[in-house]
C-alpha cells in the first residue's frame, strides 16, 4: 500500500475552499462557461429555432453560471448554487435534442452536446459536492484521471457543436 493511499482526506474538499490553485481553475471556468454557454444558446436560437422557454433556460444558465462561479471565488458556499444553471442548460439542451427536426448529423451533434453538459454536471456533483465518494485516484482536482474526464466532457461539447454548425449553418 502506498503512503498516498494512507494519507487522510482533508475535511473540506479543495473544490469548496478558497485554495489559490483551485481559484485559478474557477477563473478559467468563468471565461469558458461564458463563451461555451453563450455559443450553445446562439446555436439553439439559430440552428434549432428553439422556443422562448428553451432559449430562456439556456440564457438563464449562460448568465448564472459565470456569475455564480465569480461569486464563489471568495465564498465557496455559493458554488452549491451552480446546480441551478447546470440544470437549466441541461434541460434546455434536452428539449432541443428531443425536438430537433433538422439533419441527422445535427441531431447527433445536439445529443453529443447534451451528453457533454450532463457529464459535466454529474462530474461537478461528484467532485465538487461529493454526492458520491470520490476515489483517491480522482480526489485531486489536477489529477490525470480528472483531466481525462474533463476532456471527455469538453470533447463532446466541441464535437457536438461542430456537427451542428457544419450541418445546419455552413
pLDDT per position as a tens digit, 39-65: 999 999 999 999 999 999 999 999 999
pLDDT of residue 170: 86
Can you give the residue range of the structural domain that contains 85? 17-169
Residue 12, phi-psi category: left (phi > 0), alpha (psi -120 to 50), beta (remainder): beta
**30 is a domain residue:** yes
Q: Is residue 72 part of a domain?
A: yes
142: phi then psi, degrees, rounded to nearest 5? -110, 20
How does pLDDT run across 98-126, given as a tens digit for each residue? 999 999 999 999 999 999 999 999 999 99
If one compares 167 and 9, the residue with the highest pLDDT of the two is 167
29-34 long-range CB contacts below 8 Å, 24 or more apart? 29/66, 29/69, 30/66, 30/69, 30/70, 31/66, 33/62, 33/65, 33/66, 33/69, 34/62, 34/65, 34/66
In a domain, residue 100? The reply is yes
- The verdict on residue 6 lying in a domain is no
**Distant-in-sequence, close-in-space partners of 29: CB < 8 Å, separation ≥ 6:** 66, 69
pTM over the 0.75 mark: yes
Whether residue 11 is predicted with pLDDT greater than 80 in this model: the reply is no
Report the distance separating Cα 135 and Cα 147, nearest Å: 15
Cell output for 85:
444553471
Identify the CA nearest to 59 among candidates 36, 37, 90, 84: 37
Given a cut of 60, is residue 7 above it in pLDDT?
A: no
How much is the average pLDDT of 131-146? 93
Task: Tell me what pLDDT residue 3 has.
Answer: 46
Q: Is 12 a member of any domain?
A: no
pLDDT at 9: 54
Retrieve residue 81's grid coordinates. 448554487
Query: Looking at the 3D structure of the chain, how many domains does it have?
Result: 1
> Does the residue 3 lie in any domain?
no
Indicate the SS3 state at residue 78.
Answer: helix
Nearest CA-CA partner of 143 in 153, 131, 132, 151: 151
Amino acid at each position: 500500500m502506498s503512503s498516498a493511499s494512507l494519507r487522510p482526506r482533508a475535511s473540506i474538499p479543495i473544490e469548496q475552499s478558497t485554495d489559490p490553485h483551485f481559484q485559478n481553475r474557477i477563473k478559467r471556468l468563468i471565461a469558458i462557461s461564458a463563451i461555451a454557454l453563450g455559443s450553445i444558446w446562439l446555436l439553439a436560437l439559430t440552428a434549432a429555432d428553439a422556443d422562448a422557454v428553451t432559449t430562456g433556460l439556456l440564457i438563464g444558465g449562460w448568465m448564472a453560471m459565470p456569475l455564480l462561479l465569480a461569486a464563489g471565488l471568495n465564498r465557496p458556499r455559493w458554488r452549491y448554487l451552480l446546480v441551478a444553471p447546470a440544470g437549466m442548460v441541461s434541460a434546455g439542451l434536452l428539449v432541443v435534442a428531443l425536438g430537433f427536426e433538422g439533419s441527422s448529423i445535427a441531431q447527433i451533434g445536439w445529443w453529443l452536446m447534451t451528453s457533454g453538459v450532463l457529464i459535466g454536471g454529474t462530474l461537478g456533483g461528484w467532485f465538487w459536492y461529493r454526492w458520491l465518494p470520490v476515489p483517491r485516484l480522482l480526489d485531486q482536482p489536477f489529477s490525470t484521471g480528472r483531466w481525462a474526464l474533463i476532456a471527455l466532457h469538453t470533447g463532446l461539447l466541441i464535437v457536438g457543436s461542430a456537427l451542428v454548425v457544419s450541418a445546419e449553418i455552413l
